[in-house]
């Protein structure tokens, strides 16, 4: 009998344990992947698209509710114009080539960020796929486009300020839930796990509010090489951690015992 692959064994393992509901990924290392191979940086981004496909398929298969990918940051606009144009072309190709698979697998496509800054030839297939997948009940795949965590919080505070100025909201009634309702991620599950590839140890302005209690996993793998097995290892690492949310281990154990008896 043929032995199962490492990835298959890992997938079976993570399916038997509690999964994060919402995973965010900082996809880093495309440029370095290309440079060490003597290739143009855009080839690294192209190979990175294959990782997006494989990780998305794996996340859907194991039962992740929401996957958010940091596809293009607010600061990425400052990159060389040729690279930005190439990234926009790759994004359009991805949206067009994955249209059928996203719909056929019940995935709902979402986008956060200053999406109106994207060129029309990207916005049109993006809006088409968002519209056509809006009623899908499977995993939510969110693309963070022209996105920044500080920009998101600033945008939310501007909306809150307008609500206060108009009398719709009293400053005394402003709490976390009211602020979160103005974030671009409103409606998504709480963020449980953030993965960053390429061996860098920073969060790069990604989901700053949302990751307050998220687990962090830093993978020493460049994004184009981050495939199913690497992703599953991050999920397995998450499953080995105790999430306390400011409580003690003893308190968590008591709560678990009480839930089991209920």
What is the rounded distance in angstroms from the CA atom of residue 37 to the CA atom of residue 223? 14
Known binding positions: 28-33, 41, 45, 77, 79, 196, 202-204, 215
Token reading at 68: 């958010």
Q: Is 132 a catalytic residue?
A: no
105 is annotated as an active-site residue: no
| Distance separating the N- and C-terminal Cα atoms of the chain | 44
CA–CA dist 69, 111 (Å, integer) = 10
Residues forming the annotated binding site for substrate? 29-33, 41, 45, 77, 79, 196, 202-204
Catalytic residue among 76, 105, 136, 205: 76
Residue 227, CA distances (Å) to 27, 43, 183, 260 in order: 12, 17, 30, 36
Q: Is 54 exposed, middle or buried (0-12, 13-18, 19+ CB in 10 A)?
A: middle
Q: Where is the binding site for Mg(2+), in residues?
A: 28, 215
Catalytic residues: 28, 76
């Amino acid at each position: 009998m043929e032995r199962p692959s490492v990835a298959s064994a890992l997938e079976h393992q993570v399916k038997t344990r509690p999964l994060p509901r919402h995973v965010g990924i900082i996809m880093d290392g495309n440029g370095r992947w290309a440079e060490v191979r003597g290739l143009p940086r855009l080839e690294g981004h192209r190979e990175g698209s294959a990782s997006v496909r494989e990780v998305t398929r794996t996340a859907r298969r194991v039962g992740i509710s929401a996957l958010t990918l940091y596809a293009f940051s607010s600061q990425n606009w400052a990159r060389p114009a040729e690279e930005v144009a190439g990234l926009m072309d790759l994004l359009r190709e991805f949206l067009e080539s994955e249209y059928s698979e996203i719909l056929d697998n019940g995935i709902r496509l979402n986008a956060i960020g200053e999406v109106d800054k994207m060129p029309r030839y990207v916005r049109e297939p993006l809006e088409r796929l968002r519209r056509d997948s809006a009623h899908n009940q499977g995993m939510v795949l969110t693309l963070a486009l022209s996105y920044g965590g500080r920009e998101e919080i600033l945008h939310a505070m501007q909306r809150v300020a307008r609500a206060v100025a108009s009398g719709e909201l009293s400053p005394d009634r402003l709490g976390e839930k009211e602020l979160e309702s103005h974030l671009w991620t409103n409606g998504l599950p709480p963020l449980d796990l953030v993965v960053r590839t390429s061996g860098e140890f920073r969060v790069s302005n990604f989901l700053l509010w949302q990751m307050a209690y998220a687990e962090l996993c830093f993978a020493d793998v460049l994004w184009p090489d981050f495939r199913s097995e690497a992703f599953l290892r991050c999920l397995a690492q998450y499953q080995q951690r105790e999430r306390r949310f400011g409580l003690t281990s003893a308190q968590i154990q008591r709560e678990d015992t009480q839930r089991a008896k209920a």
